[in-house]
Amino acid sequence: MPDTLPIVADPLVRFQEWMSEAWSHEPDDANAMTLATATPDGAPAARIVLLKGADARGFVFYTNLESRKGEELAANQRAALLFHWKPQGRQIRIEGRVERVTDAEADAYYASRPRISRLGAWASDQSRTLPERTELERRLATYEAKYPGEDIPRPPHWSGFRIVPERIEFWQNMPFRLHDRTVYTKTAGGWAIGKLFP
């Protein structure tokens, strides 16, 4: 049976190692992650979003603040993330509180997006009922005419969220379902590290 994972004091170091390996095996959206949110009364919802930044402060993604996830995160500022990389037999589970990114961070990422994506942020009433596809196309054409060049301001309803981790679990597939699970729990002094039964 393979050895269990060596203990690394900083979970972000292990995260960056695993993410780098994932990109080498999954060049299309290795940064895809499941985001789980809940309403104030506990009704859960999950969807795939893309990680756009990870550092000691947390894990960042961007969205329409008026979308379902945006509204749920505003009402219940706790969330969970899940990365799953099947070729490596790995998962990372992240749980924590949620905060908005700064306007400067949102502006910088928004400006890096392709033009059509920036226009789409204006055109789409994300998560709301779309009577027919032509309505989205009409709205997109309206904003293409309004902003004919590259100077497209960030919509006030579009920004990012940072998941500030309080618990991170690294799961490595092992033979006979005797998987290796290492869990990091945030404490006042840093990270407490432990193992979990598979």
pLDDT in the model for residue 3 = 57
List the domains of the chain with CATH numbers.
11-113+156-196 (2.30.110.10)
Q: Above 90 in pLDDT, residue 193?
A: yes
Q: In the prediction, which pLDDT does 154 show? A: 98
Whether residue 148 has pLDDT greater than 50:
yes
Query: What letter would DSSP give residue 94?
Result: E
pLDDT > 70? residue 120: yes
8 Å CB contact between 90 and 171: yes
* Tens digits of residue pLDDT in 59-94: 999 999 999 999 999 999 999 999 999 999 999 999
Would you give the DSSP letter of residue 177?
G
Burial class (CB within 10 angstroms; exposed 0-12, middle 13-18, buried 19+) of 100: middle
DSSP string for 12-81: HHHHHHHHHHHHHH--S-TTEEEEEEE-TT--EEEEEEE--EEETTEEEEEEETTSHHHHHHHHS-EEEE
Task: State the pLDDT at residue 1.
Answer: 40
Question: Does position 2 have pLDDT exceeding 80, yes or no?
Answer: no
**Residues that are catalytic:** 177
Q: Is the pTM of this model over 0.85?
A: yes
pLDDT at 26: 85
